[in-house]
Amino acid sequence: MKIGVTRFCSILTVCGALLLAGVARADDASPWAEDMNSALRLIGGGNLQAGVEIKMPAGWHTYWRYPGDSGVPPRFDFSGSDNVASVQVLYPAPQAFTDETGTTIGYEDDVIFPLHVVPQQNGKPVTLRAKIDYAVCAKLCVPVEARAALTLGHTGNNAALAAAEARVPKQVSATDAGLTVRRANDGKPKPIVFVDLGASTRPAEIFVEGPSPDWALPVPKPAKGVPAGHQQFIFEWDGLPPGVDPKAPAELTFTIVNSGRATEVKTRLD
C-alpha cells in the first residue's frame, strides 16, 4: 500500500514543532529564524517581489509541494499580513532523493520560494507576516514552525528572486513537451502507467501529481529496454484516494526537469 504524504520520511522522527520568530522591519530581508538544522527568512525586492528562503546544512533537505513516497509539504500562512489581498507561492523545480525508505522530492542546501503578492490598496505599505510549517530531513526528520515578518519595498534581492522564479517550471502542452501517457494492466494487480517523452537525448526526472492534494501517486522511474534516443518512465497506478474508481479517467500534472530546464504538463489519463 502506498505511504501517505503525512508520514515523515526517515529512520527517526522528532515530534513537536520548533517555534521560530521574526519581527517586521523595513529592509530587504527579515532576520533569519534559525534552529539547529535549518534557517528561514523572508526576502524582498522591488515592485512587491518577495520570497521565502530556507537554507540547510549539507546532507539535509526539505520538501516540494508533493513530497513523494513519504514526507510533508511546506504550509504557508500569510493571514496575519498587513495590506495584503493574496499571496501565491511558487515552487522551483525540485529533485529526487532516494534511500532505503523510498523516493522523496524536494530541495537541498538553499531554496527560495518566490511569492506573488497582491496588495489590498496600492500605494500603501505592505507587510508580510508569515507562519510556515515545514520539515527538514537527513537520517533524522525535524518538523519546524517558523515565523517571519518583512515590510516590502527594498530592491536588494531582485537578482536572487529572479533566479528563483526562473527555476519555476513553465507550463506547456503535452504536444509541445512530446509527452504521452497510457496505462496497461499486463496481468498485474494494479495497472502500470507508461509516460513517454519521445525523442530525447537529455536525461530527465519526472514527477506526477493527481488532481488534488489527497492523491499520493508513486514517483515515476525510468523504464528498461527503451530504444536509444527515447525516454520512458513507469509507475504503478496506486495511491488513489478512497472512493476513486481506478479505471476512471484522471487529470494529471507532470513536472519534467531536464538539464536545468523545467516544464509542467497537465494532461488526461484515459
Give the pLDDT confidence of 111-139 residue by residue, as tens digits: 999 999 999 999 999 999 999 999 999 98
* pLDDT reading at 6 higher than 50: no
pLDDT bin (cut points 50, 70, 90) of residue 22 is low
* pLDDT reading at 145 higher than 50: yes
- Number of helices (H), then strands (E), in the chain: 2, 21
* Cell numbers representing residue 52 in the block: 521565502
* pLDDT reading at 67 higher than 90: yes
Q: Which of 3-17, 151-165, 250-264 has the lowest mean pLDDT?
A: 3-17
Short-list 199, 197, 234, 204, CA closest to 219: 234
Q: Rounding to the nearest 10 degrees, give the CA dihedral for residues 238, 239, 241, 246.
A: -10
pLDDT bin (cut points 50, 70, 90) of residue 255 is very high
pLDDT bin (cut points 50, 70, 90) of residue 3 is very low
Q: Which domains does the chain have, with CATH numbers?
A: 12-167 (2.60.40.1250), 171-269 (2.60.40)
Q: Compute the chain's Rg from CA coordinates.
A: 20
- The pTM for the full model equals 0.89
Q: Where are the alpha helices (DSSP H) in the chain?
A: 158-166, 174-177
- What count of residues does the chain have? 270
* pLDDT reading at 13 higher than 70: no
Return the amino acid letter for 169.
P
Are the C-beta atoms of 264 and 169 separated by less than 8 Å?
yes
* pLDDT reading at 19 higher than 80: no
Return the amino acid letter for 142.
V
The CB-based long-range contact list for 7-10 (8 Å cut-off, 24+ gap) reads 7/70, 7/71, 8/70, 8/71, 8/72, 8/135, 8/137, 8/141, 8/143, 9/67, 9/69, 9/70, 9/71, 9/101, 9/102, 9/104, 9/137, 9/141, 10/101, 10/137, 10/138, 10/139, 10/140, 10/141
Looking at residues 138-155, what average pLDDT do you find?
A: 91
CA distance to 61, 67, 155, 170, 219, per residue, from 205 (Å): 18, 15, 34, 15, 10
Going by the DSSP 8-state scheme, the letter that residue 229 receives in this structure is T
205-232: pLDDT as tens digits = 999 999 999 999 999 999 988 877 788 9
φ and ψ of 144, to 5 deg = -135, 135
